[in-house]
Amino acid sequence: MEKFEVNILGCGSALPTVKHGLSAQVVNFRDKLFMLDCGEGTQLQFRAAKLNFNKLNRIFITHLHGDHCFGLPGLVCTLGMLGRTADLPVHAPLDAEKVFAPLLDYFFREMPFKVVFMPFDTRKNELLYEDRSLRVSSIPLKHRVPSAGFLFEEKENQRHIIREMTDFYHVPVSKMKDIKAGEDFVTEDGKIIPNERLTSPATPSRKYAYCTDTAYYEKIIPIIEGADLLYHEATFMENDLKRAKETLHSSARQAAMIAEKAKVKKLIIGHFSARYPNESLLLDEASEIFKNTVLANEKMVVTI
């Protein structure tokens, strides 16, 4: 299968610790790298993860809290020193350009590329990026400031040719593309060979949903339904639910309830509050509701 993996660079919450970096991930989809959030220190984690700066395609920022975006100026600076020339799209909530552009303008007067802010409406499930094989859209979340997650969807895959059958029916090479797309084949003497006889079903297309920071928010369920992997914040434990509600964050139990109701295949919880020295308690809490849960960790690479 084509590469589709998630590199976790940071999974701590606002107050940094020695244990966890600030929010950042890199989705590697067919060797294009997509960054999700960019907390302070992300460029160092990126390097430690041995990811290739030249392959960074674009950045998506969930919301404008410092722990999700203060790594941006340093990363941009490093990309410039490494000789990047391609513009860098940064999909972020509306104010990002207003806030970061003066800083970038001051420090990068002679940059060989532009940072292009692409504002989006965090209240909508909106298509943000599309290429031949991938779609990325926003997932409206519920937080103290406008916040949205991101859904990575592999486009529908093609059916697999059964070589013995296409040979048997003398299907010409010129027709293979249509056959893979699901069309039937018509032989020279007009006989229709149903596609199912010539191909086996396509590999199911894969989905990854990144949801942080957010309170428990059931409206995301239809958008992320059936995802192969869901990263959902679990800043607090259920016994700190009062604090979670005040700050519009989720508990581990709530993250698991979303995973359960959206029938995803696997859940990673992260954005851990520094108050819990033993995160296995968060895992226990989530696993009671949704069994296939793991704790996020720096240097974790999850293949989808």
CB of residue 110 to a copy of itself, shortest distance in Å: 11
* Separation CA 93–CA 43 (nearest Å): 21
Other beta carbons within 10 angstroms of residue 248's beta carbon come to 18
Q: Which long-range contacts (CB under 8 A, 24 or more apart) does 278-285 make?
A: 281/237, 282/234, 282/237, 282/252, 283/252, 285/237, 285/238, 285/251, 285/252, 285/253, 285/256
Give residue 279's Cα distance to chain centre: 23
Return the number of the residue (65 or 91) whose C-beta is nearest a copy of itself.
Answer: 65
The contact mask relative to a copy of itself for 79-118 (x = CB under 8 A, - = no) is: --xx------------x--xxx-xx--xx-----------
**Active-site residue 37, yes or no?**
no
The CA distance from 251 to 238, in Å, is 5
Query: Applying CB under 8 A, does 74 fall inside the site for a copy of itself?
Result: yes
**21 or 140, CB closer to a copy of itself?**
21
Quote the strand ranges of the chain, DSSP E: 4-10, 24-29, 32-38, 56-60, 88-93, 115-120, 127-130, 134-140, 148-154, 160-161, 185-186, 192-193, 199-200, 207-211, 229-233, 267-270, 293-295, 300-303
Rounded to a whole number of angstroms, the minimum distance from the CB of residue 78 to a copy of itself is 6
Residue (49 or 300) nearer to a copy of itself, CB: 49
Q: How far is the CB of 210 from a copy of itself (least distance, A)?
A: 22
Residues 43-72 interacting with a copy of itself (rule: CB under 8 A)? 43-44, 47-48, 64-67, 70-71
CB of 44 to a copy of itself, least distance (A): 5
Please pick, from the candidates 41, 93, 140, 270, the single residue that binds a copy of itself as defined by CB under 8 A.
41
- Residue 242 in the binding site for a copy of itself (CB under 8 A): no
- Tokens 């396509």 label which residue? 202
Scanning residues 3 to 32, which ones bind a copy of itself (CB under 8 A)? 14-18, 21-22
Quick one: 103 or 181, whose CB is closer to a copy of itself?
103
Which two tokens mark 31? 């060797």
**Identity of the amino acid at 153:** E
Residue 68, phi then psi, degrees to nearest 5: -110, -5
119 lies in the binding site for a copy of itself (CB under 8 A): no
Q: Minimum Å distance from CB 10 to a copy of itself? A: 10
- Candidates 31, 37, 67, 284; catalytic one: 67
Give the count of beta carbons closer than 10 Å to the beta carbon of residue 96: 20
Please give the residues from 189 up to 228 whose contact with a copy of itself meets the rule CB under 8 A: none
Contact 43, 1 (CB under 8 A): no
Q: What residue ranges bind a copy of itself (CB under 8 A)?
A: 14-18, 21-22, 40-41, 43-44, 47-48, 64-67, 70-71, 73-74, 77-78, 81-82, 95, 98-100, 102-103, 106-107
Tell me the catalytic residues: 67
